[in-house]
Structure 1
Amino acid sequence: MTLLPAPPVGGHALPLARDLALHGDRTALVTAGGEISYRELAGRVEETARRLGLERRLILLPGANTADALVVHLAALSAGHPVLLVPGDHPEAVESLTAAYDPDVVIHPGPGEYRIEERRTGSAHTLHPDLALLLSTSGSTGSPKLVRLSYDNLQANAESIATYLGIRDTDRAATTLPLHYCYGLSVIHSHLLRGAGIVLTELSVADSCFWDLFRAAGGTAVAGVPYTFDLLDRVGFADMDLPHLRYVTQAGGRLAPERVRHYAELGARRGWDLFVMYGQTEATARMAYLSPSLAAEHPGAIGVPVPGGSFHLEPVEETPGDDGVGELVYTGPNVMLGYADSPEDLALGRTVDVLRTGDLARRTDAGLYEIVGRRSRFVKILGLRIDPRQIETMLERHGLDGLCAGDDEGLALAVTRRTGWDERRIRRRVVDECGLPARTVRVHLLPELPRLPTGKPDYQAVRALNRPAEAPADEAGGDGTDDLCALYARILDRSDVTPDSSFVSLGGDSLSYVEMSLRLEERLGRLPQSWHTTPIRELRQGENGPEDNGQGENGKGRRRRRTVETSVVLRAVAILCVVGSHIRIFEIRGGAHLLLAVAGFNFARFLLSSPERRERTRRTGRSIARIAVPSMAWTAFALLISDDYDLSNLLLLHNALWPEATGSGIHLWFVEALVYILLAMTALLAVPHVHRWERRFPYGLPLTLVGIGLLTRYELVGLPDRTQITDAVTIFWLFALGWAAARSSTVPRRLLVTIAALASVPGFFPGEPRRELFVMAGFCLLVWCPALPSTGRINRLAGLLAGSSLAIYLTHWQIYPLFDDLSKHLAFVISLIFGIAYATGVTWLVQRVSLGGRRPLREGT
């Protein structure tokens, strides 16, 4: 029986999505889990289209290179529902665009099939019948400015691309770029149009598993932006055995001519073609392509218009003396309907007929178009008109990878480090090139160039490098954002903070989280629950200050209520209970075990915030070092002044070697257990399959680990008595519960982890019901109460204790005995003060070492 597609619900439908079944039993998708035929794909699309309903509605879909996301995307387009396609790996962008456009249906990724949230049965908006797709041009920032694309735009561009690439139904293209990025989406559309296969994966080309899948699937096509080619160089692409590879496509920014020539010649030797392409989201995807036969001879050209399109050049003031140079203007059926800045714009039809690209170009004698600059990037400094693109080209000639941006005050250059080149030498080259005074050119040597998630250059981040990190608030930008950037730069020791950065994107962890949250709360007032993933720009836009300047009912100003994050309070209370119980001022035990659950909670929030496997490993390794190194340093000092510890303690091995031991050697069991667990999780998540599983099932993986941990907690796997094995094994389930709690985004999930805690904690401390109650109560607060009412003074005290909790735990064993005989309360206070001082000293030393004695953001001149 042939499946017939659901009738369009109004307006048009996208033919390439509606006609999938026409390709029969050919392979449509190849995934790590198996193959899906076009007939099967059409069936899933048809079923999902019916679930989306008959009335035309705006559907928000977080993009991902998964079968579920693709099915929803195709189902909506086949049934006539406009799709707002947003970055699935950036929750802040999803939240921002959801708030800005109030979609009628929101798709939620999750284990199994995507969940469809129907916010209303009809539509809250007037939707133009031609409107098919809304895409952002601003990366992951969640900007409300979107490109409106029609069904004709999508179909025409897919047909055009399929024509000049010569796509066959035997081809299989890999998803090397995000679904929400117009380039990545065009790869999928153009291949589905021709009945070709898609190797559907979220793996990076830098991952060996990607190439295993690509070979097994008989992959024929790879697409990349310039950064992709950097990764290809690193993994030895030139020497790979890829017997089915037919063509490689490049777009998303300019690839240096020598790199184009290199890959064109490599392709000629290895039997595949290189297509250099040019496009913009406003043109659906592609406007020009360079034939593989011309790439080696004309590596600086973008080629000719795609089939169905045309170019012309319009004179511009910027280049009055350059013959033949003008702004490149494109006409074709793939030109967008126009922009949308608000939901009201969704009712608009076509407001744009031609696309003024903003690029400056010339037409060569060979009939090829060549980009020579960018209108919007020109800057005028001291009366001189400067093209940053030419400076980047000059750097390329000298073998340097760099980005250049500027304003009326001067130029900012981000350049990757290279032997023999320092800031002074690079600046001199730029000064000679453009005739500017040296004081207007600032060079910043970086390990890597700042890039957007799509791999494109992040010029906003480059401009931000020239901003002083510690400018006073009254000297900062008009919206006050720069002072927050300075705060982030100082606390996180980063020199690449921009208004679009967030705490997690800058690699913030639980050790810096406390200070950051309290400083922001002081400046902005009550913080949103998701502040750590919110761009700095949006934090500043959403603040009303610590005081509400509006008038109350009685006409008087009223103070805004202060709050403090629950995880901060729990860390502070737990360390007070640990120290107080050890000195025997009071008896409230369980603080260390509660701290372990909080550690799991923060592990998920911060160390797993990056979608990149290597970045996660780097962040976790740095966090482990920030725990282990101060611990080992203090232990070495304790060895000199007491006989509490031995070499096994210094190496953090005591609990692993002698778990049954008693005496002072067991003091550091908590530190050792936390380090062991973090090392184990780092190794586990470094496995590509586990990494992919965690990204696909962010709640399911920690819940599975909770189950595994409970096997050891209840001694169900034949392990020795828990007194005979390291604590890291027997208490791991608490860490996993905290991890799962952080991933509990819905009430049922929070209920499940709460029930698991309430069921598993009792009996773990035989004969100590108060200890068990303390741990359970703290865990419930962590799950259900993200913030607690507070005052400014309490916040500062809680932050000080929480931020110093590790240092206090380490040092109090040697400090309180010195004063215990005089006064237990005095011993308690001095232990806290000394721990805080040790934490402050360690932080200062780390900053001095990492910065080489310099303040952040003040180098490079």
Structure 2
Amino acid sequence: MTTQLDFERVSFASDLASHGDRPAILADDFALTYRELADRVDALALRLGTERRLVALAAANDVDSLVAYLAALVSGHPLILVPEDKPAALNSIVAAYDPDVILRSGNGQAVLEERRPGTRHELHPDLALMLSTSGSTGSPKLVRLSHANLQSNAESIAEYLDIGPDDRAATTLPMSYCYGLSVINSHLLRGAGLVLTDLSVVDPCFWELFRSRGATAFAAVPYTFELLERVGFADMELPSLRYVTQAGGRLAPEMVQSYAGLGRRRGWELFVMYGQTEATARMAYLPPDLAATVPGTIGIPVPGGAFRIDPAPGLEHGELVYTGPNVMLGYADRPADLAAGRTISELRTGDLARRHPAGVYEVVGRRSRFVKIVGLRVDLGQVERILADLGVQAASAGTDQGVVVAVEGDHDTQLLGKVLAQGIGLPRAALELHAVEHLPRMATGKLDYPAVLALSGNSTSGPEVSGPQPADRPSADSSSATAAGPDNVRRIFRDTLELTDIADGDTFVSLGGDSLSYVAASVRLEQALGHLPPDWHVTPVRDLEPRRRDVPARRMRRFFAPLETSIVLRAVSIVLIVSTHVGFFSWQGTAHVLMAVAGYNFARFQLSGERLPRLRRQLASLARVVVPSMAFIAFAYLITDRYSLANVVLLNAVIGPEAVTTQWHFWFIEVLVYLLVGMTALLAIPWLHRAERRFPLLFPLAITGAGLLTRYDLVDPGVPHTAPALWLFALGWAVARSRTVAQRCLVSALAAVTVPGFFENAARELTVVAGILLLIWLPTLPVPRVFGRLTVLLASASLYAYLVHWVVYPPLAGISPALAVAGSLAAGIGYWALCMRVMGTVSRWKIGRRRERSGGIRPQTA
């Protein structure tokens, strides 16, 4: 095995104590000297041991993460750095690389999860750190960096920024991002201070901390400057500020000139920089005195580095190639790659460049036709492929400010713009489409992309985010009684429930409606009736009458569509769940909100009527969950190696491994099915059926009590993850049965008392409590009308999006987390539409069979 003596020395980590009592960490409420920081690093290094092991660190901008990072370097343990707020990224890395140790932030001390005492990996002596490539957080493809890479890049950055012991840098970027990490390394190297914070520059508290701690620098990406504009940075008094650095994408030349000029007037300097993760952060910088004259260039190589431009066949400009001691060892795609040494000696950047007459370098394009917009890497070729799949010939060009697309022929560019924005995960405002008679081409017949880019700004008006409403959509201000009477209600029920024979006395529930069909029916009814009675789902068709809206309501509904709270919660929750799993951002707790919503809907749609008819409805509704789930999981089982036959039959929670692996991806579906089966079986017992009818609120409260036995670990259910599920499912059931203010207060108190402390995460617990309270106290929520239809689609497809996103997002996350989220949600909507069509066909076939057997049509009587 490789011991800790077999790696190169990284002085900025190993020589911390040499800086003595100088301030190393300055936070809002405490400070650490370099000697104190060194003591903490040495203590954790001892816990990590002397045998080199593979370590994964979920890093935040806090002391625990910084200590863990430095301890791994000091003791020679190769480290994979992932963002703490993206648990899906950590899960992906753990699944791909099987680290020996996982480190996380604790309450003043790093939490060390030792997965094995030794290591099962062969680790090259030079290997120090692995980071995800730009835009691919959580991707198995990692950049392998050596101790020498880290040390040399820290030295070159510290040299050209002239960092000294009196400097103090505010951590405006995540340390899991190579740019943010380089700020830490270069300042520790020189014994400078770190104003450690995760506050945003838009937070007034950030600037209070900046001033009080005498910060001299902060790092920015292009988007940061948009935020600085909002908070009035130009007028701030920051006497200690010495310089601002910028990287992470191209900053518009006019912005470079503007901020360079501001810096000159205010006494600080702007350093525009250029780099890639593959070069341990930085390759070039623009000296501040050149910012006014050549603001569009990347400047000169960092100390110790060099550029050359290699010819690119068929292109006017060549490819920029970088050499220097900070060039990575190579990439890793699998654990075996960790044993490899250096596999490259120079970095082919993929950027097309030229040498400016001023002696600096200028990037003029991408060889691979990628652009980075609002932090998202966009493949211009993919833009053309998406449109080609729609039968539209197009050519796309772009800059870091946006994408310009020329489409050949007479097409609706507004509609195509929406499709593209959704397909590639960009804001609609970042796309500009132009219909042209013929695509511009050069004399050789090749597409003329500069001519496409020149189309930008030719239109007289900017792109509109939303287009015209469909002509057959009911007006929000319609108050016609004749258009919304029982016949219209009957038509809505026919469409959403795939039925033909609906009597005046029928209700949504008696016709077999459930939570899957409820969303579409409720939205259409609200539009048709002008209101939505709280108990509409159990109200006979003949009693669902339209109501004239008053003038203020009509005005409000021009801009807002009131949607039932459970619908909004389903839509918002699935977006947050998928985004968290992808690693786009982290917002935990919404899956458990959905479990409460499931109980709420079970009580509303599955508990009315006599025992046997109700049992048939419950079984039919259960089949609408089980069959699509098993079908898709079987498909996922066949095309991936992540799942087992236990997943296919929805029994992983019972017979699967106890350790949380990819086989636990479908826990929510499995546990929901178990609860629905259990409650259906329970209520099939005659005396329990009668008890539920007699005590509609007391019954779910008793179920809640049973769930609380597992919530407080008084009883072990024997099936992981069901403890909070049973408890929250029953709470949702109780919400649906609460009729008076006192009853709602009782259920609210139950949620407020029992949720805190369960997850040991205040934000997660607050999310669950807030979701339940919204369900209790607000029957509807106003949703901007422009998002109304999307909200309904997402709510309808929430179960299906949860299913399919596990398979859809992994290949897309490396391109763009936003694209992975959008693609997952779109695929979920597509699978939902397919299942609805199949279910409708089956339903119509059953109706036809019943008619054939009965020899007639059901009479239209109550």
Task: Give the TM-score range, shorter chain.
Answer: 0.5 to 0.7
Task: Report the counterpart of residue 363 of structure 1 in structure 2.
Answer: 355
| 1:492 and 1:508 in contact (8 A); partners too | no
Alignment counterpart, residue 23 of structure 1, candidates 11, 19, 24 = 19
SS at match of 1:376: coil
1:510 CA drift (Å): 5.9
Pair 1:85–1:571, CA change in 2 (3 A): farther
Pair 1:104–1:506, CA change in 2 (3 A): closer
Alignment pair present for 1:388 and 2:393: no
Task: Report the counterpart of residue 99 of structure 1 in structure 2.
Answer: 95
| Counterparts of 1:337 and 1:846, CA distance in 2 | 51
- The one-letter code matched in structure 2 to 1:588 is F
Runs of 5+ consecutive residues of structure 2 not aligned to the other structure: 371-379, 406-415, 441-448, 467-519, 521-566, 600-621, 651-665, 713-731, 795-821, 827-862
Pair 1:846–1:508, CA change in 2 (3 A): farther
| 1:327 and 1:360 in contact (8 A); partners too | yes
Alignment pair present for 1:588 and 2:699: yes
1:503-527 CA-partner distances (Å, limit 9, x unpaired): 9769967665678999886545499
Task: Report the counterpart of residue 344 of structure 1 in structure 2.
Answer: 336
Alignment counterpart, residue 273 of structure 1, candidates 254, 269, 273 = 269
Task: Report the counterpart of residue 198 of structure 2 in structure 1.
Answer: 202
| 2:41 and 2:70 in contact (8 A); partners too | yes
Task: Report the counterpart of residue 156 of structure 1 in structure 2.
Answer: 152
SS at match of 2:699: coil
| Counterparts of 2:194 and 2:642, CA distance in 1 | 42
Alignment pair present for 1:850 and 2:775: no
Task: Report the counterpart of residue 752 of structure 2 in structure 1.
Answer: 735
- The one-letter code matched in structure 2 to 1:368 is V
SS at match of 1:740: coil
Alignment pair present for 1:565 and 2:672: yes
1:565 CA drift (Å): 3.3
| Counterparts of 1:238 and 1:851, CA distance in 2 | 41
1:388 CA drift (Å): 2.6
Pair 1:538–1:121, CA change in 2 (3 A): farther
| 2:134 and 2:276 in contact (8 A); partners too | no
| 2:100 and 2:119 in contact (8 A); partners too | yes
Pair 1:586–1:669, CA change in 2 (3 A): closer
Pair 1:592–1:489, CA change in 2 (3 A): closer
Alignment counterpart, residue 218 of structure 1, candidates 196, 214, 219 = 214
Alignment pair present for 1:492 and 2:597: no
| Counterparts of 2:575 and 2:220, CA distance in 1 | 28
Task: Report the counterpart of residue 729 of structure 2 in structure 1.
Answer: none
- The one-letter code matched in structure 1 to 2:248 is G
| 2:571 and 2:791 in contact (8 A); partners too | no
Pair 1:54–1:316, CA change in 2 (3 A): same
**Larger displacement relative to structure 2 (60-69 or 271-280):** 60-69
Aligned pairs for 1:371-450 (under 5 A) are 371-377=363-369, 379=380, 386-389=396-399, 392=402, 414-415=426-427, 417=429, 434-435=451-452
Alignment counterpart, residue 249 of structure 1, candidates 242, 245, 248 = 245
1:294 CA drift (Å): 1.0
Which structure's relative contact order is higher, taking Cα pairs within 8 Å and 6+ residues apart?
A: 2
| 1:361 and 1:372 in contact (8 A); partners too | yes
Pair 1:362–1:505, CA change in 2 (3 A): farther
| Counterparts of 1:665 and 1:584, CA distance in 2 | 12
Aligned pairs for 1:824-839 (under 5 A) are none
Task: Report the counterpart of residue 236 of structure 1 in structure 2.
Answer: 232
Pair 1:179–1:567, CA change in 2 (3 A): farther
| 1:66 and 1:201 in contact (8 A); partners too | yes
SS at match of 1:218: coil
Pair 1:174–1:76, CA change in 2 (3 A): same
| 2:101 and 2:116 in contact (8 A); partners too | yes
| Counterparts of 2:331 and 2:674, CA distance in 1 | 42
Task: Report the counterpart of residue 313 of structure 1 in structure 2.
Answer: 309
Task: Report the counterpart of residue 169 of structure 2 in structure 1.
Answer: 173
Pair 1:8–1:563, CA change in 2 (3 A): closer
| 1:848 and 1:854 in contact (8 A); partners too | no
SS at match of 1:564: helix
Alignment counterpart, residue 740 of structure 2, candidates 644, 656, 667 = 667
| Counterparts of 1:735 and 1:571, CA distance in 2 | 26
Alignment counterpart, residue 80 of structure 2, candidates 81, 84, 103 = 84
1:669 CA drift (Å): 3.6
Task: Report the counterpart of residue 346 of structure 2 in structure 1.
Answer: 354
SS at match of 1:204: coil
| 1:520 and 1:527 in contact (8 A); partners too | no
Aligned pairs for 1:27-106 (under 5 A) are 27-106=23-102
1:137 CA drift (Å): 1.3
Pair 1:236–1:444, CA change in 2 (3 A): same
Pair 1:843–1:264, CA change in 2 (3 A): closer
RMSD: 5.4
Pair 1:376–1:309, CA change in 2 (3 A): same
| Counterparts of 1:389 and 1:285, CA distance in 2 | 22
- The one-letter code matched in structure 2 to 1:667 is T
SS at match of 2:41: helix
- The one-letter code matched in structure 2 to 1:492 is A
1:59-102 CA-partner distances (Å, limit 9, x unpaired): 11111111111111111111212111111111111122112212
**Larger displacement relative to structure 2 (566-575 or 154-163):** 566-575
Aligned pairs for 1:628-643 (under 5 A) are none
1:377 CA drift (Å): 2.0
| 2:269 and 2:288 in contact (8 A); partners too | yes
| 2:63 and 2:108 in contact (8 A); partners too | no
1:18 CA drift (Å): 0.6
| Counterparts of 2:575 and 2:40, CA distance in 1 | 48
1:11 CA drift (Å): 2.1
Runs of 5+ consecutive residues of structure 1 not aligned to the other structure: 1-6, 396-403, 448-486, 529-535, 550-559, 602-626, 635-663, 675-727, 746-752, 754-781, 783-802, 812-838
1:660-682 CA-partner distances (Å, limit 9, x unpaired): xxxx99803454677xxxxxxxx
1:239 CA drift (Å): 1.3
SS at match of 2:755: helix
SS at match of 1:68: helix
| 1:147 and 1:338 in contact (8 A); partners too | yes
| Counterparts of 1:272 and 1:574, CA distance in 2 | 72
SS at match of 1:360: strand
Task: Report the counterpart of residue 333 of structure 1 in structure 2.
Answer: 325
Pair 1:410–1:137, CA change in 2 (3 A): same
Task: Report the counterpart of residue 111 of structure 1 in structure 2.
Answer: 107
1:288-340 CA-partner distances (Å, limit 9, x unpaired): 00011111221111111101001111121352xx2xx2111100000000011
Task: Report the counterpart of residue 854 of structure 2 in structure 1.
Answer: none
Task: Report the counterpart of residue 125 of structure 1 in structure 2.
Answer: 121
| 1:131 and 1:346 in contact (8 A); partners too | yes
- The one-letter code matched in structure 2 to 1:348 is A
1:127 CA drift (Å): 0.9
Pair 1:520–1:292, CA change in 2 (3 A): farther
| Counterparts of 1:503 and 1:166, CA distance in 2 | 35
1:538 CA drift (Å): 14
| 1:578 and 1:588 in contact (8 A); partners too | no
TM-score, normalized by length of structure 2?
0.57
| 1:175 and 1:199 in contact (8 A); partners too | yes
| Counterparts of 1:495 and 1:39, CA distance in 2 | 45
